[in-house]
Chain A
Amino acid sequence: MLPANLKANPRLDRWVRIDPRGAVTIFSGKVELGQGTVTAIAQIAAEELDVELGRIAMVPGDTAVSPNEWYTAGSLSMEAGGSAMRAACAEVRKLFVDAAARKLEVSAADLEVRDGTIGVPGTDLSTSYWALAGEVSLAREASGGVSPKNFSRYRIVGTSQPRLDLPAKLTGAAYVQDMELPNMLHGRVLRPPSYGARLEAFDADSVRALPGVDAVVVDGSFVGICAAREERALKALDAARGAARWSAGTPLPAFAEIHELLPKLRHETAVLVSKQGGAKAEKKLEASYSRPYIAHASIGPSCAVAWLRGGKLTVWSHTQGVFQLRGQIARVMGMRDEDVNVIHRDGAGCYGHNGADDAALDAALLARGAGRPVRVQWSREDELAWSPFGSAIAVKMSGGLDAAGKVAEWRHETWSHPHVQRPGTGDGVNLLAAWHLEKPHAASRAADPPFPPGAGARNAAPLYDFASQEVIYHLVTEQPLRVSALRALGAYTNVFAIESFMDELAGAAGADPVAFRLAHLADPRAKAVIEAAARAAGWQSGAKSDGNSGRGIAFARYKNASAYCAVVAEIEVAEKIRLRRAVAAVDAGQAVNPDGIRNQIEGGIVQAASWTLKEQVRWDASGVQTRSWEDYPILRFDEVPQIEIILINKEGEPSLGTGECAAGPTAGAIANALFHALGVRARHLPLTPERIAQSML
C-alpha cells in the first residue's frame, strides 16, 4: 500500500535525487512555516536512505520540481508527508541495494548501507549510491512493495536535531522578504478603506509624477505602486490614498457578542453525531461559550516577489500550497498553469491562511504592470485588517448526569463560519486582489470540509465515552468579516467548550476534574497524558484555592486522530489573569524530532494563552478597527508562563501531528483554573478583566 501522497506523486525522482558527487537532494511538498517540518522530513529521508543528515539538501516546495502534497496544514506534515517520504526513500534504497547486489554478486540480504556506502560487513566488497547513481534510474514509479526500516534500527528519527534553516535566519538574509532580483522594484498595494468599497475616481497621473515612482497599476479597484526605492513606494502609497475616492463599503453588522451574533446570521445545519443509550440523566446543565474573530498577527507581514519574463511567470511566496496558489494565479492572470512557477520561500511564522497568497497575486499583477521583477511587502495594517481572520465560534452545550454522577446526556451545538477558504478550495478564486479587479473573480462559495475531521466542527465530537450524545453544526455561510484557516480551526473553541463543560459537570457531580475525565475515557493513551500532566503538575484532588490562584486541567486529541495533549494551567488573578505555569503531556506517537515537538507545544501553549487572555478583532459598521499592535495586543515577554512538557514517545507507532494539539487544552485549562481560583465561570473569550467582571455579576 502506498501512502496517499506517494500514490499521487508516484515517480521516485519527484522525491529523491542521488548525485554521483555524494549528495542527496530531497524534494518535499511540505514547506517550512516556522514549525520545523523541513528538518523533520530530512531526518526521515536520511534515516530511510541510511545516509548522514549532513548529506541531505532540502529543496523548498516548487511547482517545477516538487511533489504536489496539497497544503502544509492540518498537522499532517509528519503523518502524510513523512510517511510518503519514508516510503519513497525505502524504495530508492532498495533499488540501489539490489543494483549493488548484482554488481558485487552477493545477496541483497548480506548488504548494509552506511552513509551511502553499500557493502558486505567484514569484507572489502563495497560500492555506493554515488558510484551507482549513473546506472540506477529513479525515473520510475514507486512499487508499493518495499517495507520501510523497522523503528528498532532508527538512529536519526527520534533524535533532537537542530533546525537546518535557523543558522541563516539568525545571521542575515533568509526570508522571501530578503530576496532581491536584478532591476527589482518595491511594490505596495492601496487597499480600499473597507470591505466592498469600490474605487470611484483615482488621479493616477499625480502619483506617476512623484519622484522615484516607476509604475502605477490600476485595474478596477486594484491600485498598486512600484518604485526602485522602497521608501519612495511608501511615500507614493500615501499620496495615492489622497488621490483615490472610494464608494461606501459593505456595512458590517453592529459589533456584538459572538454567541448572540452568529446564530442570527444565515446558516446551514447538520447533525454530525446522534446516538442514544445508557442511563437516564437526573441532573441537567447547560452553558454557552464563544471565541471572537482572531488575527494571525505574524510578526512579519506578508511578502512576495514575482517576475514575468517571456510569457513565463515566477512567483516566490511563503504560501502553504505552491500548486494550489499556482492554479489560482494562472486563472487570474489568464495564463496556463505550466507557464506559472510558484516557489516557496520561508516567511515569518505561519499559523494558517494569512496574507501570503494574496501578496503573491499582488506581486504577479504588479510585475506584469511594471515589466520588471517586483517585491510586494504588506504593511502591518494590511496584515491585521485584510488577511483572513480565524472564524468566530459559538458553542452551546447541554448535558446531564445519571444517579451515579456519570455523564448520561451530552449535546454540543457549534455555530461558525467556514474555516477553510484557501486559494484552491472550492470553485472560485480566494485571493484578495482578484475580487478588486475590473473583471473580478468571485470567491468560492462557503463550504467546510466534511466531518470528521471537519473544520468549524473539528473536535466537536468528544473523545469521552458518552453512550448518549448529539453533535450539531451550524455552518454560518453569511460572513461579515473575511475568514479562513487559523491554527486548530474549530478545535480550539470546541475543546475549550467541552473541557469547560466537563469541569462544570464534574463540579455538579462533586468529582475531581482529573478523576472525572479518567472515568469517562477508555483510550489508554488519552488517560496516560491526563495522568502524566496531573502528576507532573502536582495535582491535588480537592485542593482549595487561596482566592487568587487556581489550577485547571484540560485535554484533547486533536481531530480525535492526531496527537494527544493534556495541559494543566496554574494562574494568578490580580487585576488580570496571569498564567504562571503550564504543564503539558503529549503523546505524538513516534517522535521524529523530540525537541521540535517540544518547541511546537511550548509555542502552542503561549499562542493559545495569548488568544485566550487577550485577543479579539473589533469592528464597527465602517470596518475592522483592530489595525495595529496597539489595537491588537498579544502576549508579551513579561506575561509568559513557565512551561514543562512531558513527551510520551511511542516508538514504532505512527507519528502524529503536534502543531495544533495544545491550543484547545490550553484554553480549557486556563478557564478551569479561573473557576478554581475565583469560583467564576467565564465562558466567552478572551478572558479579559472586563469579561471576568461580567462573569461575576
Chain B
Amino acid sequence: MERVKLQVNGREHEVAAEAKTPLLYILRNDLGLKGTRFGCGTGHCGACTVLMDGKAIQSCDTPLWSVEGREITTIEGLGTREKLHPLQEAFLDEQAAQCGYCINGIIMSAAALLQRSKNPTEEEVTKALERNLCRCGTHVRILRAIRNVAGKS
C-alpha cells in the first residue's frame, strides 16, 4: 500500500492503496463518488468514464499511479441535484435515460467533447461516444440532449 495524492473535483485527496488499483475503485470506495459506474472493467463500455485534465478516460482501466498530478472530474464534480450541469439538465429535460446506468459515463464523454468543440457535428458527437454503450436503446434521446446543449453554448 502506498499513499497517493490525487486531485478530484477540485479537491486534493490522499488515499492509501496499491499504485496499480484502477481509479474506478478509488473514486467509488475511497472517495464515495458512486456516480461513476462499473460496467466491464476493460474500458469497453464507458460506464466508468471520467475526465482527466478535461479528456474523457475510462477509470476502470486507469491505474491510480497514472493520475497523480492530474485533475480528475467525476459526475459529482460536474453538477449536483441542487445545481445541475447543463448536460444533466438536458438529459432530464429529454428524459434521456431508461435504466440510467450508462448515462453518467455518456455525460462525461459529452462534457469532454463540448469542452473542446462548442458546436460539434453529428459525426463528432457519435465519435465522442464511440466508447460508450447503452443497452436500453435510449440513444436517440441521448443524442438529442447533447445536441440541445451544444446548440445553446
Interface residues of A, Cβ cutoff 8 Å to B = 33-36, 162-163, 165-175, 177-178, 180, 186, 229-231, 297-301, 346-351, 377, 379-380, 595, 599-600, 602-607, 610, 628-630, 634-638, 640-643
Q: Which 5 A-B pairs have the closest CB atoms?
A: A34-B99, A606-B137, A349-B99, A603-B137, A348-B101
Residue of A nearest to B101 (CB): A348
Residues of A contacting B137 with CB < 8 Å? Answer: 602-607, 610, 635, 640
Q: Which of B28, B92, B129 contacts A166 (CB 8 A)?
A: B92
Residues of A contacting B38 with CB < 8 Å? Answer: 177, 300-301, 377
Complex: A166 Cα to B101 Cα, angstroms: 10
Interface centre among B81, B99, B107 (most CB of A within 10 A): B99
Residue of B nearest to A607 (CB): B137
Complex: A351 Cα to B98 Cα, angstroms: 12
Residues of B contacting A163 with CB < 8 Å? Answer: 95, 97
Q: Which of B17, B32, B102, B104 contacts A229 (CB 8 A)?
A: B17
Q: What's the least CB distance linking A225 to chain B, in Å?
A: 15
Contacts A170-B91, A599-B141 given; does A34 touch B35 at CB 8 Å = no
Can you sample 13 A-B contacts with CB below 8 Å? A167-B92, A178-B28, A297-B135, A300-B101, A349-B136, A603-B136, A607-B136, A607-B137, A629-B40, A634-B133, A636-B133, A637-B142, A640-B137
Give per-residue flags for B58-93: 1 if the beta carbon is below 8 A from chain A beta carbons, else 0: 000000000000000001100111001000100110
Interface residues of B, Cβ cutoff 8 Å to A = 17-18, 21-22, 25, 28-29, 32-35, 37-42, 44-45, 47, 75-76, 79-81, 84, 88, 91-92, 95, 97-104, 107, 125-127, 129-130, 132-143
Q: Other than the known A231-B21, A637-B126, A637-B143, what 14 A-B pairs have Cβ atoms closer than 8 Å?
A: A162-B92, A166-B92, A166-B97, A171-B81, A178-B28, A186-B29, A231-B25, A298-B99, A299-B47, A600-B98, A603-B98, A629-B45, A638-B130, A640-B139
Q: What's the least CB distance linking B48 to chain A, in Å?
A: 10
Q: Is the CB of A169 within 8 A of B133?
A: no
Residues of A contacting B104 with CB < 8 Å? Answer: 169-170
Residue of B nearest to A161 (CB): B95
Residues of B contacting A299 with CB < 8 Å? Answer: 37, 39, 45, 47, 99, 101-102, 133-135
Q: What's the least CB distance linking A389 to chain B, in Å?
A: 15
Contacts A167-B92, A634-B135 given; does A602 touch B141 at CB 8 Å = yes
Complex: A636 Cα to B129 Cα, angstroms: 9
Residues of A contacting B134 with CB < 8 Å? Answer: 299, 637
Residues of A contacting B142 with CB < 8 Å? Answer: 637
Residues of B contacting A640 with CB < 8 Å? Answer: 137, 139-140, 143
Q: Is the CB of B102 within 8 A of A170?
A: no
Q: What's the least CB distance linking A315 to chain B, in Å?
A: 20
Residues of A contacting B42 with CB < 8 Å? Answer: 380, 628-629
Complex: A355 Cα to B130 Cα, angstroms: 27
Q: Which of A36, A170, A349, A642 contacts B88 (CB 8 A)?
A: A170
Q: What's the least CB distance linking A60 to chain B, in Å?
A: 15
Interface centre among B29, B79, B127 (most CB of A within 10 A): B29
Residues of A contacting B133 with CB < 8 Å? Answer: 299, 629, 634, 636
Residues of A contacting B92 with CB < 8 Å? Answer: 162, 166-167, 170
Q: What's the least CB distance linking B11 to chain A, in Å?
A: 16
Residue of A nearest to B97 (CB): A166
Q: What's the least CB distance linking A76 to chain B, in Å?
A: 18
Complex: A173 Cα to B27 Cα, angstroms: 12
Q: Is the CB of A175 within 8 A of B140?
A: no
Residue of B nearest to A165 (CB): B100
Residues of B contacting A635 with CB < 8 Å? Answer: 137, 139
Residues of B contacting A180 with CB < 8 Å? Answer: 32
Complex: A299 Cα to B142 Cα, angstroms: 16
Q: What's the least CB distance linking A211 to chain B, in Å?
A: 9
Residues of B contacting A301 with CB < 8 Å? Answer: 38-40
Q: Is the CB of A35 within 8 A of B100?
A: no
Interface class of chain B by DSSP: loop
Complex: A173 Cα to B14 Cα, angstroms: 22
Q: How many A-B residue pairs have CB under 8 A?
A: 177
Q: Which of A168, A602, A638 contacts B126 (CB 8 A)?
A: A638
Residues of B contacting A350 with CB < 8 Å? Answer: 99
Interface class of chain A by DSSP: loop
Q: Which of A168, A347, A602 contacts B140 (CB 8 A)?
A: A602
Residues of B contacting A300 with CB < 8 Å? Answer: 37-39, 47, 99, 101
Q: Is the CB of A178 within 8 A of B34?
A: yes
Residues of B contacting A642 with CB < 8 Å? Answer: 140
Complex: A482 Cα to B138 Cα, angstroms: 28
Q: Which of B21, B107, B139 contacts A170 (CB 8 A)?
A: B107
Q: Is the CB of A230 within 8 A of B29?
A: yes
Q: Which of B33, B45, B138 contacts A172 (CB 8 A)?
A: B33
Residues of B contacting A167 with CB < 8 Å? Answer: 81, 92
Q: Is the CB of A380 within 8 A of B39?
A: yes
Complex: A110 Cα to B99 Cα, angstroms: 44
Residues of B contacting A351 with CB < 8 Å? Answer: 135
Q: Which of B22, B28, B139 contacts A606 (CB 8 A)?
A: B139
Residues of B contacting A379 with CB < 8 Å? Answer: 41
Q: Which of B101, B135, B141 contacts A175 (CB 8 A)?
A: B101
Q: Is the CB of A177 within 8 A of B40?
A: no
Q: Which of A166, A229, A230 contacts B95 (CB 8 A)?
A: A166
Q: Is the CB of A171 within 8 A of B139?
A: no
Residue of B nearest to A378 (CB): B38
Q: Is the CB of A630 within 8 A of B135?
A: no
Q: What's the least CB distance linking B73 to chain A, in Å?
A: 14
Residues of B contacting A173 with CB < 8 Å? Answer: 34-35
Complex: A171 Cα to B89 Cα, angstroms: 10
Q: What's the least CB distance linking B129 to chain A, in Å?
A: 4
Complex: A177 Cα to B101 Cα, angstroms: 10
Q: Which of A170, A231, A603, A604 contacts B100 (CB 8 A)?
A: A170
Q: Is the CB of B138 within 8 A of A599?
A: yes
Complex: A167 Cα to B22 Cα, angstroms: 27
Complex: A635 Cα to B18 Cα, angstroms: 36
Complex: A502 Cα to B88 Cα, angstroms: 45
Q: Is the CB of B37 within 8 A of A171?
A: no
Interface centre among B40, B75, B135 (most CB of A within 10 A): B135
Residues of A contacting B21 with CB < 8 Å? Answer: 231
Q: What's the least CB distance linking A275 to chain B, in Å?
A: 38
Residues of B contacting A630 with CB < 8 Å? Answer: 44
Residues of A contacting B136 with CB < 8 Å? Answer: 34, 349, 603, 607
Q: Is the CB of B84 within 8 A of A171?
A: yes
Q: Is the CB of A629 within 8 A of B44?
A: yes
Residues of B contacting A610 with CB < 8 Å? Answer: 137
Complex: A263 Cα to B132 Cα, angstroms: 39
Q: What's the least CB distance linking A2 to chain B, in Å?
A: 32
Q: What's the least CB distance linking A469 to chain B, in Å?
A: 33
Complex: A347 Cα to B107 Cα, angstroms: 19
Complex: A239 Cα to B38 Cα, angstroms: 21
Contacts A163-B97, A165-B100, A169-B97 given; does A636 touch B130 at CB 8 Å = yes
Complex: A314 Cα to B135 Cα, angstroms: 30
Complex: A348 Cα to B48 Cα, angstroms: 13
Residues of B contacting A33 with CB < 8 Å? Answer: 99
Residues of A contacting B126 with CB < 8 Å? Answer: 637-638
Q: What's the least CB distance linking A107 to chain B, in Å?
A: 43
Contacts A606-B140, A637-B132 given; does A35 touch B98 at CB 8 Å = yes
Q: Which of A162, A297, A380 contacts B41 (CB 8 A)?
A: A380
